[in-house]
């Protein structure tokens, strides 16, 4: 055991001070190098305003604060794209729970729904992003392993059927359970929504979803100004920021005003049926009562509000 104490002033002033000087230079250089290394962050900070950084969770905003946030988002949209857009914050209609069904005997896999979703919801043009994927499936099997989304031949092909998959708006949504910051939740009308201004982009929900329904903004979406759909909703189709999650919201900016979703209107085969599950006289209830419907991956217990049937 040594009693040597290098910090005592008597233990040689010069080496310590020279060393201290070297350390000081080293620290300065290191800090400078670190500042230079992380300088690309400055580009990002110019894009994220202080108001956006400080913004509270959607559910914690008062009416006035929401209006203020929406005003800001509209102003930012105008500034960034030069396009005048209207962002609204439609509330769920009381007494409504949405259900969706697809007639797989009619669907021929033409993909018009995929494209309609792409245009309606201001998706990234570079990746043909859409909330819908259509699988070409082997007739006589529900095994997705035998499916394929990249088919580009004339449809319908011999011995195939077509399975469009989008968010199933589960009643027991695994994506909502796993979110660490409650950035995604299930609304009164059954729609699972995302607060794009609250999501931290951890992508746990994307890992948890059994239906490949979630999409991540790996970069800021590219939508030419003239193609932007200016009729937007805060929780739905406003142009998403970079680095956050998004998903099918049953076109809530349309459906909460009584309109049909864009994918349904675009379907040339009439395979899509949408409506209010709480209305016993609705089309969707008739389908559930009269067709042999099934849900995808029922064994996982996700309880989808999205149904399929053959007829």
Partner 1 sequence: MTEASPPAPLPDDRPSSHFVTYPRFLLRLVRLATDGSPAYYVWMTVLTAISLVGANAWATQVADGMILTSMTDHVSWGLYIANFTFIVGLAAGGVMMVIPAYLYRNRAMHDVVILGELLAIAAIVMCLLFVTVDLGRPDRFWHMMPGLGRFNWPISMLTWDVIVLNGYLLINLHICGYLLYTRFLGRKPELRFYRPIVFLSVFWAVSIHTVTAFLYSGLGGRPLWNSALLAPRFLASAFVAGPAFIIVTMYVLRRLTDVRIDIKAVNTLVQIVRVTILINLLMVVSELFTEFYAGGSHISSARYLFFGLHGHDGLVPWIWTAIGLNVVAAVMFLHPRVMQHPGLVSAACVFAFVGVWIEKGMGLIVPGFIPSTLHEIVEYSPSLTEWKVTAGIWAFGLLIFTAMIQAAVPILRGQERAA
Partner 2 sequence: MSERTKTDRPGRAWPLIATFAVLAILLFWAVYAVIQARGLADVEVEDVASAPHTEAAVRAAGGKLYPVQVRRPAGPPQVVVGEDPVTGATRLVSCTTCHATRVADPEHGRTKALDDFHGEVVFDHGAGALGCNACHDPSDYDSLRAADGRRIAYADVMRLCAQCHSRQHESYRHGAHGGMNGHWDLSRGPRTRNTCTDCHDPHAPAFPSMKPTFKPIDRGLQPDGSSDH
Q: Are strands 98-103 and 306-309 parallel, antiparallel or unpaired?
A: parallel
Nearer to partner 2, 52 or 286 (CB): 286
Among 97, 123, 214, 249, which residue sits at the site for partner 1 (rule: CB under 8 A)?
214
Whole-angstrom Cα distance, residue 138 to residue 159?
A: 6
- Stretch of 71-79, 88-96, 107-115, 145-153 lying at the interface with partner 1 (CB under 8 A): 145-153
- By the rule CB under 8 A, 182 interacts with partner 1: yes
Plot region of 301 (φ>0 → left; ψ -120 to 50 → alpha; else → beta): left
Q: Shortest gap between Cβ of 21 and partner 1 (angstroms)?
A: 12
**Ranges within 245-284 binding partner 1 (CB under 8 A):** 245
3-class SS at 306?
strand
Neighbours of 244 (CB within 10 A): 19
Q: How far from the centroid of its chain's Cα atoms is residue 64's Cα?
A: 25
Residues making up the chain, counted from first to last: 311
Do 202 and 180 touch, CB atoms closer than 8 A? Answer: yes
Q: Shortest gap between Cβ of 295 and partner 2 (angstroms)?
A: 16
Among 244, 248, 263, 267, which residue sits at the site for partner 1 (rule: CB under 8 A)?
244
Nearer to partner 1, 211 or 307 (CB): 211
Neighbours of 100 (CB within 10 A): 27
Q: Shortest gap between Cβ of 31 and partner 1 (angstroms)?
A: 11
- By the rule CB under 8 A, 161 interacts with partner 1: no
How many residues bind to partner 1 according to rule CB under 8 A? Answer: 71
Q: What are phi and psi of 169, to 5 degrees?
A: 45, 55
- By the rule CB under 8 A, 133 interacts with partner 1: yes
Whole-angstrom Cα distance, residue 287 to residue 295?
A: 13
Rg (CA), the chain: 26
Q: Shortest gap between Cβ of 197 and partner 1 (angstroms)?
A: 9
**Partner that binds at residue 114, options partner 2, partner 1, none, CB closer than 5 to 8 Å by kind:** partner 2
Among 151, 171, 204, 278, which residue sits at the site for partner 1 (rule: CB under 8 A)?
204
Nearer to partner 1, 189 or 246 (CB): 246
- By the rule CB under 8 A, 218 interacts with partner 1: yes
3-class SS at 181?
coil
- Stretch of 4-12, 68-76, 106-114, 268-276 lying at the interface with partner 1 (CB under 8 A): 4-12
């Amino acid at each position: 055991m040594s009693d040597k104490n290098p910090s005592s002033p008597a233990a040689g002033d010069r080496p310590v001070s020279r060393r201290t000087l070297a350390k000081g230079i080293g620290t300065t250089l290191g800090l400078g190098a670190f500042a230079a290394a992380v300088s690309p962050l400055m580009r990002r900070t110019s894009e994220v305003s202080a108001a956006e950084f400080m913004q509270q969770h959607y559910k914690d905003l008062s009416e006035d604060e929401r209006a203020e946030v929406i005003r800001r988002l509209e102003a930012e949209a105008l500034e960034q794209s030069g396009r005048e857009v209207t962002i609204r914050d439609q509330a769920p209609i009381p007494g409504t729970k949405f259900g969706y069904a697809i007639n797989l005997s009619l669907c021929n896999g033409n993909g018009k729904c995929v494209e309609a979703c792409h245009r309606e919801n201001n998706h990234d043009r570079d990746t043909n992003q859409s909330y819908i994927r259509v699988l070409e499936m082997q007739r006589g099997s529900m095994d997705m392993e035998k499916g394929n989304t990249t088919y580009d031949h004339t449809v319908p092909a011999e011995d195939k059927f077509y399975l469009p998959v989008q968010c199933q708006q589960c009643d027991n949504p695994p994506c909502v359970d796993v979110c660490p910051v409650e950035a995604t939740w299930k609304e009164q009308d059954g729609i699972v929504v995302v607060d794009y201004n609250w999501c931290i982009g951890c992508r746990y929900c994307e890992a948890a979803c059994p239906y490949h329904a979630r999409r991540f903004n790996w970069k800021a979406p590219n939508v030419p100004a003239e193609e932007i759909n200016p009729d937007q909703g805060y929780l739905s189709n406003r142009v998403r920021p970079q680095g956050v999650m998004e998903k099918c919201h049953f076109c809530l900016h349309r459906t909460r005003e009584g309109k049909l979703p864009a994918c349904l209107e675009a379907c040339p085969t009439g395979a899509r049926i949408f409506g209010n599950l709480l209305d016993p006289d609705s089309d969707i209830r008739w389908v559930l009562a009269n067709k042999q419907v099934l849900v995808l991956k029922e064994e996982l217990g996700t309880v989808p509000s999205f149904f399929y049937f053959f007829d």
